[in-house]
Amino acid sequence: MTVLGRRTQHATILGGAAIILAVSGGAPATAQINSRDVPIATQPQQRFSRGQDVQPIFEGWTPRDDGGYTFHFGYLNRNYAERPNVPVGEANFFSPGEPDRDQPTYFYPRINRYQFEVVVPSSFPQDGELVWELTTHGSTQYAYGWLQAEWEIDVNTITSNNRTGFGRGVDQLYGNGWPSVSVEASRSSVEVGQPVTLTARMTDDDLPNPVDEPDPDAPPRRRDPTLVAPDDAPEIPDNIPHYTKPGPKRNHLSVRWLVFRGGADATFEPYGYHEWEEGMPGDGWTSGTFESIVTFDEPGTYTLRAFASDAMLIVHGNVTITVTE
């Protein structure tokens, strides 16, 4: 397969630095839907439950104090329900160099920004490339990490793309320090169905400051459509589920657990971002301890990732659990 030159393939997602490069390999006719087979007028409305590929994304790079660089990566799973598992190997690898760069192997639906980072040394060539290659449903996609000046990002870019600014000013944006998190599991080996307690301990500075919570009784920001279907009109059929990714809380520290590597999903309680509440250890802003319960339905080795938010910036930590029958 011939791969086009880097500069002809790079594309920009509006709203922040991200690369989406659609380079498809040979796919079975029933596996990957070609947009040319969908009427142009309806393409923006098409949703697929499964059968689509996963697009790796290069989000941009940030400089390090030691002179090196951090490359930030995420992904777009084009499915609304299917969660592909692609182990590190010939279908999920980096090049050149070490193929395993802590990339995910379990992919949640839709857009997932800033999922992991790759540190490169100060000697990384200015015109060099670090390529993440990912193949799903016979379609091979690429993300190219490079040091093009326009792809340098900062906390403003990251909070804008993650939508975690919540209206706070630039003084807090640039004055806020990154939180820290340590994680542990009550057991490293369990049987299917046995609960495991996950603990995340966070510390942070005294920023950001609290902001008002949305008023649930406030009128909607968008006007209702002019044409409203009558009450007895049949519902429009829709067999593709909507997927809403859990988001960090506007106030207080919060933690979300998910499967980062593994052959199947797991059940987390609570689900989504767990916000600090009165009665929990810590003060909810500069410290907090969070406990969650996870259970597994399938055996295997799982890497679970905790995303820890200080209501603006997000860091992460991992635990590995082996699940047997």
5: pLDDT strictly greater than 70: no
Most confidently modeled of 12-16, 44-48, 71-75, 159-163? 71-75
Residues 191, 73 share a domain: no
Which residues contact residue 62 at a Cβ distance below 8 angstroms, ignoring those fewer than 6 apart? 69, 70, 72, 152, 153, 154
Residues 6+ apart with CB under 8 A from 135: 25, 53, 86, 90, 91, 92, 141
pLDDT of residue 312: 96
In a domain, 23, yes or no: yes
Q: How many CA atoms lie less than 13 Å away from 98 in the CB half-sphere?
A: 7
* Residue 278: how many other CB atoms lie within 10 Å: 6
Is residue 159, in this structure, part of any structural domain at all?
no
**Average predicted confidence (pLDDT) for the chain:** 87
Q: Answer yes or no: do 123 and 198 share one domain.
A: no
Is 233 contained in some domain? Answer: no
Q: Are residues 300 and 266 in the same domain?
A: yes
Which residues make beta-bridge pairs with 288?
202, 282
CB atoms under 10 Å from CB of 2, counted, come to 4
Residue 230 falls inside a structural domain? no
CA distance 70 to 114: 12
* 248-297 confidence digits (pLDDT tens): 999 999 999 999 999 999 999 999 999 999 999 999 999 999 999 999 99
Q: What percent of the chain has pLDDT over 70?
A: 83
Confidence of residue 11 (pLDDT cuts 50, 70, 90): very low
Structure tokens at 69: 């660089």
Number of folded domains in the chain? 2
- Verify that 28 and 129 share a domain, yes or no: yes
Compute the distance between CA of residue 158 and CA of residue 184 in angstroms, rounded to an integer.
Answer: 27
Which CATH number characterizes residue 268's domain?
2.60.40.10
pLDDT of residue 219: 75
Q: Note whether residue 235 is domain-resident.
A: no
The 3-state DSSP class for residue 175 equals helix
Question: Which of 57, 24, 33 lies closest to 139, judged by CA?
Answer: 24
> Which domain does 109 fall in, by range?
6-153
- Does residue 44 sit in helix, strand or coil? helix
The rounded distance, in Å, linking the Cα atoms of 301 and 190 is: 10
Tell me, letter by letter, the H, E, C secondary structure of 187-235. Answer: CCEEECCCCEEEEEEEECCCCCCCCCCCCCCCCCCCCCCCCCCCCCCCC
What is the pTM assigned to this prediction?
Answer: 0.83
Q: Are residues 86 and 179 in the same domain?
A: no
d(CA 39, CA 117): 38
Structural domain ending residue among the three candidates 91, 119, 153: 153
pLDDT reading at 104 higher than 60: yes
Is 133 found in the same domain as 245?
no
